[in-house]
Structure formats: C-alpha cells, structure tokens
Structure 1
C-alpha cells in the first residue's frame, strides 16, 4: 500500500510543479487505481478489468486502469491458488465504481492451503424460485451438495441463471435463494438468466440492475487449477414485454477476446451462461425451426474465439439434460433444472430427478455426472420393468439422465448378453404418468412432460425373463439395474477388465 501511495504522491507533486498536465479533459477516461494483496503483501500479475479492458498488477500488487465510459465495476480474474472471496455465499471479485468517490479500489485475497489441481464444480440450473415455500427444496439440495463436498476437495458452485421465477413479485427472492444455496457451505458464482431481467427497463443495458445490485458484473472469469472459467451473459432483452433473445454483445466478445489472450492455447476453458448455443432443430438440420430465444444466435463468433482451446460450455434454460458437440473443439452440456417442472413435480420434463451436475477436474481433464438430490452418486438412470411403462408395455425401458453418444446401454436376458438397447425418442414414464395424474393441481396449467432422446428399450423373449441393464458412461463407470436387485454401480477404478 505504501508503494502505491508514494506513486500517487509523486504524481501529485509533478502536477503541482507543472511537469505533468492537469486534470484530464472532459470526456477523458477516469483512472481506476488500487492494490491487490494477500497476507499484507502485493500480488503481482493479477488481471484487473472494468468489463472493457484489462491490466495486470505490478510486482507490488498495484494497478492503474483507465475506466471506459459507462464502466460499472472494477473486478479481478481470480488467480489459481487463492480462496474465492465471498459474501453471504456469493463470490465477490468486484467493486462497484462510485463516480462520487475517489477512484481507488483495493482487493484483499487469501492464499489457499488446498491444491486446486483437483477441484469440483457444482452446477445448479434454473433454481427459478417463485414462492418462499419452494426455498425448503433449495435448502434440501444445498444439504445434498454439502455431503457431496464433504471430502475436502476444493469445491465451488455455479448457479446458471434464472435464480428467481418472477421478478415482478415482491419482495424479490434473490437473497433468499442465495442464502439457501449458501447452506451448501460452497461459494457460488451467479449467472444472469431471462427470469432475472428487469422487464420494465427501457433497454437491455438497464435490464440487469436488480441482478447487478446483488451479484455484481454479469460477465467475468477466474482460474482454478489448470482450468480457466468464464461466465458470460447471453440474455439480450428486447424491451418489448418479456421478449429477449440469445445474443452476446460486441462488448462482451471483445472482452472475452482479451481475457482469452492470457490463456495458453491447448488449455481447458469452461464457459458458463444461461441460453444454450445449439438446439435439437440445429442437430437435425432444421435451421428454420430454431427459436431465437432458445439459442445463442451469434454462436459462431463464440466458437471461433474458443478454437485454440479444449472448451466446455455449461448452459441451462431448456429445462432438460443434453450433451453434444456443436463443433469439434466444443462440448456443450445443457442442464436440467433444480426446480423440475417449476417445483410442481419430482422430475423435470425429461424425467430427470431434481438435482445438479458435478464436474471434477484433475489437471486439464474434466469428468462429470448428474447428482440427483437424496440419491446415491451411483444412480445415473431410471429403469422400468416390462409393463411398467404404459407407452412400451412389452419392453424394459431406460432413461439415461446424462447420456451422450460415448455412453453404452446394454442389456442381458437370463444372464446372456443381448447387446445394445435401442435408443428412441419419447416420454419418460415417471414424469408423464405424474403429469397425467396431478396436472389439475399445478399452479401453471401449461406445463407438462416433454419428449426426450435419452431413452432406451429392449423387448425380452418372455415377460418373465430375468433382465439386467448395464449402463457405462464415457469414463468407464458402470451402473446396473435388475428387477430383482435394484440399482447398483461399479466405478471405473473397480472394473476388473480395466
């Protein structure tokens, strides 16, 4: 701090002597200054941004940043090896710029005793809380997350947008949702979603104020271990009723371009935002059926920026689970909502139980699985015996919650292997039957089950046959089911043939 103060005093003396020009002309950028410290010592090389451009702290931890016109925050790219600064469970890497106060913003970090080469991300999609009584379910999920993180591995969370359900209801529930997730004991980063918009704003620029007041900037980055994480805001408000579209403004793209310039090529980069880049229609080549509010419309620009990296996109919004590669270097994960069908059912519209995704990093490598609340980690699919699924009464049917094409879904009849089960598109039995029985009790009459592609079926030679299902994920973990034994699992490390 003393070195930074000396610099300021020297600059003042030079101004007084006339060796430097006086105050900048009207319209010139305001300079932001400050110091980043840990345990009282300056931290060098920390990237500081105003959401437009970056500078790095010098060897004493000092930075000087000309603020762009309209800049609202000054904030850090949190370096690896430091604890996540948090307030009431929400990450706080930022300071809000106050034009009426001196432009000096310091940041204090704390070194972590943990090795972050191995770490864990808990991804919560669409909490979307409408009413206070729904917070009990969020707390229940938070308790489950606390158990998941109990092994001591470095763990953080990302709430991937739609924190609340209805921004016109008062009081706003941002803080109660934040407090409920904080019961996980895990610091959370927050993503802006379309349900978080101020719908009475006159333009997109002003539609994020309620969110920013509580969670800071809507795009930022941080490092954990060897992985670079980026949060973006791809919800663009059209200021006509509730209309919005999936779009990244040029300001964000330029910021991201400069952010990634500091990341070595070949590294793993994880990008989180609310609206997915891709769609089922796109995968089927039916481009005219894509809906502008369900996809990132300028996705090609993002894919281009991510070309030098092994990239993963974590998104939400669609209320189902899907995993795919829209382009070769990008793996996109769309996540089912914690809120299921707006808290009216135990499952989301594709039959996935309420839960969250778990991503575990080891160096540059990521593995992942779906963690259903109150289920064992070894439960990764739902199976229905012959006659249990009224849409396929002659078949054993399976819903593989987090399926991607690298998974294998095999079946055995009376101990004999029968090969791969047949994939099909249809309705999960649990959610479809529940909706049929209870939809009249729902607060929202327009919701219901939807078709999904991660279903599988097999028709045994006899309804009395002993059928066993074996599901293997892309990492070699095996998950088993039979009507007699129920669900069991065999982690990859325990597979005798590996």
Structure 2
C-alpha cells in the first residue's frame, strides 16, 4: 500500500491537482444487495479501480487508494464473475463522480456540486455465474433530434428487443441524441424498456458544444451516464469503452476530430497491465479508426493504440458514426503490429439514414442507409476469447441478410448490361458469394464497389414522383463495401426464372436469398 501511495503522489501533477487528495474505499461482496458495505461483508482483493487515468488493484482486504483532483470520476473495472448494481433506469452504477464545485456553467446542465470527498468511496459487487459463451446487444447511433424521433427509435428498434432473453447487457455506440442534450432522459427511458443493464458511450452529437476544451465537453454526458472512459470484464472478454471525439478540434478549434487525449491512452495502458494476454480485448468508440489520411481520425493515436495492443492476440474494435456498415482489417501496412490482422467493425445504425425515407405501415421511417444497409442492430456472440457477429435488420426476419436487385423483365436472347446485384450487409471483400439460375450451376459473383442499385431506386423515387410523399427524402447514395454482381442469362426460355444467392460470411455462416426475373420475346 505504501507503493500505491508513492505512485499516487508521482502523478499529482499529471492530474492537475493543486494539493494531494486521496480517495479511499473498498470493493466488497454485497451479500444483502443493499448497495452499502455492512460490517460482516468482506472486501474483494485484486479488483481494478481507476480515477480515469491511473489503475490500481484492491489489496487483500478489498481496499484501494487513488489520487483525485477537483474533476475526477472514480470507477470500478468490473471483474468476471460479478454483477454491478444498476439504477432504476438499468444504467450500471460502477462509478462515483467527484466534482466538489460541480460542472462549469453551460447551455446544458452538467454535474451538480458533489461536495467534500466521502471518507470511504465503496463499490458493491454481487457474485454471479458468468458463462464464457454469451451475447451482447449493440446499438449504433440512435441519434434522435426530436422527441418524435425518440418515439421512432422506441417503436422501430427497442420494441423488437424489449425483454430480450439470454443477453446480459447492451451498449449504445454514441450519438445517443442529436445535439439536444435534453433528450438524454427520453433516450434513457426508451432503452430502459430493453430490460437489461445498458452501457453507453459518447458521440460527437452528445457534446457540450460551448466547452472550450475537450475535457469539459462531456459534462452533461457524465451527469447522465458517468465516465466517458471506462472498462469492464465479462467471461473471458475485456471491454474498453472510450470517448474518441476531440472537441474543439485541436487543429483549428472548430468542429471535432477523431482521436485520444494522452490521459486516455494512459488509462488504456494502465488498464491492460491487469488483463490476461489470452483474453479477448474489445474496444468500443464512436468514430472509426479507419478513416483515411487522418482527415477524420488522428493517425498517430491509432498507432499508439496499436502499440498498446501488440501483446494481445485476440482483439476486436467497434465504432458507428458513419451511418453505413463495413468491415475493416488492419495489417502491418496499416500499422498493426501482429501477424494476424485486426478486425474493426463499423456498425450499421439504429437511426439508419437519420430517420429518413418512406414511412412504413406503422408510420416509422424506413431509413435505409446510404450504402443500402437497412437500419438495425448487432448481436455479438462471444465464445471464450472468440466472437461472431449477427446483424439484425429492424422489422425483418433474422435470415434477411442481403438484398437482391435485378430487372423485372429482360428481352429474351438479347445481351444486356443490366446485372444481378447482391448487397450482403455483413459482407466484406473476399467473402464467397455465389448465384445460380433455376437450379443450374453455381457461379461466383464479382465483388464491386459502387452504389447499391436497390438504394438508388429507393432514393430517386423521391425525385421522379409527381406527388409529395410523407417523410423526408433519403440521403444521396454512396458506394457500398458489400456489393456483388452477376450477369443475367437471357438465352433461356421465356417466362419467370428464379435467382438464388448464397453468401458465406467471415465467421463461416452461410446465408441465402431468392428473387426472380422474367424473359419476354423482344418486340
């Protein structure tokens, strides 16, 4: 413990402390689940606790000590085999906010003054059996700008997974709201209905835009959700959740930039010291680390992160933000320091294309994304330190994993430049996508990088109709990263012909879809 105190003293300057202030407390087994450490309840040793930068382990009695300043959040890094209590809104309560004077005055209210540091800041844990095979539910960008859009989110997404079973927790990948932070509470009430503990992270539309420095851009977020940077364990998986939105942009003090502050990278480094090398490391942040040329993400921060991960062979990183869906793989040419590439999954969003497009039969915008991916959410299935991913399209059966585009009718015996297109939502270049016509020979489809014609057709209906349609025109198409093309056989009998497509994803799962086209004699 003396070593802990000495180490704490050495980082006072880093934390910006005007005077040494030490937070002390216990991590304990909450036998009666009242959230308070009673005399007969034992402390739990070797549990990681952090002030947002430094990470220490509790001693044999379950006690920890950490330095704090006037703006720190002390949080526990939940160990496997334990549950953390949650509040009435299903938000995990793994933190204590220490802001004696509260947040600075801003347009949206932050943390109220917390006053003097308590004598003991304790964290309750409840023993729980955790299966190393489990599934997490992931939402990308709910991003409602109005209460009406909160309702779209609640009815179009949350209602599908309400009271979901065999899923221990969920996570929203930032842009919880769309700039109006008064919508945090309606968002919380909507997600509460899922009925499971729910973690959150901060996106670029969840910021205090009147903040003059990045450290103060998350004050309202903290008041509702706790720390913007934290970690927890479940089974053989270690989750690290980070705010990777730098605001104001350090290049010109305008807008935002993807990246990390030094204290955040120090948190990751200190956290990983206590994570076994054979565990799966899952990093979750809002802005993709794969944006090109540093325009949207600071390259050196990605390189620093990769350095910290170089001794962990099992990794996955997650993002949202783009309102498309894609898979990226980082090898040595991209700065990854291991032989096997790193997988980065940029998740399709629950708001889709920002609640645009036609209204469905329930009056909810269809909101297909610009790359042709329908709005939806992801289930990540963990098997020890391995994983697989299922993308669920909202309002569709589980096996709806691709959209087929083909002409309705084609002239018999005439060559055509039209094609059969398969948008395989979870696909990536290198996946095997095959097609056949009328139970004929299976042929390989060609991977192409161009807009999905199904989405092009959907968008330009708005520009060609002579009647004003309800809803809002969708965004212009962009090239899809998961599109394949096949030729249309025209030298067949006149009449209807069946198109069958099968696609095998990166996890070895095979998916299929069926469509058709008609051949008619040319006139």
The reply to whether residue 106 of structure 1 matches residue 122 of structure 2 is yes
**Using the alignment, how far apart are the partners of 1:479 and 1:246 within structure 2?**
35
**Using the alignment, how far apart are the partners of 2:149 and 2:50 within structure 1?**
37
2:375 is matched with: 354
1:162 is matched with: 175
Deviations 1:260-279 (A, max 9, x none): 11112232100000111113
Superposition deviation, residue 90 in structure 1: 2.0
Deviations 1:171-227 (A, max 9, x none): 710111121112111221111111011111112121111111111111110000001
1:411 is matched with: 435
Structure 2 unaligned spans of 5+: 1-16, 32-40, 101-114, 332-339, 358-365, 411-415, 518-523
**Using the alignment, how far apart are the partners of 1:52 and 1:483 within structure 2?**
54
Task: Give the match's secondary structure for 1:378.
Answer: coil
From 213, 231, 253, the equivalent of 1:221 is 231
The reply to whether residue 460 of structure 1 matches residue 483 of structure 2 is no
The reply to whether residue 314 of structure 1 matches residue 318 of structure 2 is yes
**Using the alignment, how far apart are the partners of 2:78 and 2:431 within structure 1?**
35
**Using the alignment, how far apart are the partners of 1:137 and 1:128 within structure 2?**
11
Deviations 1:208-263 (A, max 9, x none): 11111111111110000001100011100026786110111111111110101111
1:294-443 equivalences in 2 (<5 Å): 298-309=301-312, 310-327=314-331, 328-345=340-357, 346=366, 347-387=368-408, 394-405=418-429, 407-438=431-462
Equivalent pair of 2:406/2:516 in contact (CA under 8 Å): no
1:210-289 equivalences in 2 (<5 Å): 210-238=220-248, 243-279=255-291, 282=292, 287=293
Deviations 1:127-170 (A, max 9, x none): 111111112232231222236x32x3x42111111111123xxx
Deviations 1:49-95 (A, max 9, x none): 1112122122222222222x354211000111122432212222101
Equivalent pair of 1:276/1:295 in contact (CA under 8 Å): no
1:132 and 1:174, CA in 2 relative to 1: closer, same or farther beyond 3 A? same
2:413 is matched with: none
1:39-188 equivalences in 2 (<5 Å): 39=31, 40-67=41-68, 69-87=69-87, 88-99=89-100, 100-103=115-118, 104-112=120-128, 114-140=129-155, 141-146=157-162, 149-150=164-165, 152=166, 154-167=167-180, 172-188=182-198
Equivalent pair of 2:327/2:345 in contact (CA under 8 Å): yes
1:294 and 1:319, CA in 2 relative to 1: closer, same or farther beyond 3 A? farther
**Using the alignment, how far apart are the partners of 1:438 and 1:175 within structure 2?**
34
Equivalent pair of 2:278/2:385 in contact (CA under 8 Å): no
Equivalent pair of 2:405/2:454 in contact (CA under 8 Å): no
Equivalent pair of 1:275/1:295 in contact (CA under 8 Å): no
Equivalent pair of 2:459/2:473 in contact (CA under 8 Å): no
The two structures, once aligned, show a CA RMSD in angstroms of 2.5
Equivalent pair of 1:80/1:116 in contact (CA under 8 Å): no
Superposition deviation, residue 446 in structure 1: 8.9
Equivalent pair of 1:406/1:473 in contact (CA under 8 Å): no
2:210 is matched with: 200
Which contiguous aligned blocks of 4+ residues in structure 1 show a shift greater than 4 angstroms?
Answer: 239-242, 294-297, 439-446
Equivalent pair of 1:307/1:329 in contact (CA under 8 Å): no
1:479 is matched with: 511
Superposition deviation, residue 47 in structure 1: 0.7
Structure 1 unaligned spans of 5+: 1-25, 486-498
**Using the alignment, how far apart are the partners of 2:504 and 2:72 within structure 1?**
48
Equivalent pair of 1:232/1:273 in contact (CA under 8 Å): yes
Task: Give the match's secondary structure for 1:51.
Answer: coil
Superposition deviation, residue 336 in structure 1: 1.6
Equivalent pair of 1:120/1:360 in contact (CA under 8 Å): yes
Superposition deviation, residue 118 in structure 1: 1.3
Equivalent pair of 1:278/1:296 in contact (CA under 8 Å): no
Superposition deviation, residue 467 in structure 1: 2.1
TM-score (norm 2): 0.79
Superposition deviation, residue 442 in structure 1: 8.7
Superposition deviation, residue 441 in structure 1: 6.4
**Using the alignment, how far apart are the partners of 1:73 and 1:237 within structure 2?**
20
1:490 is matched with: none
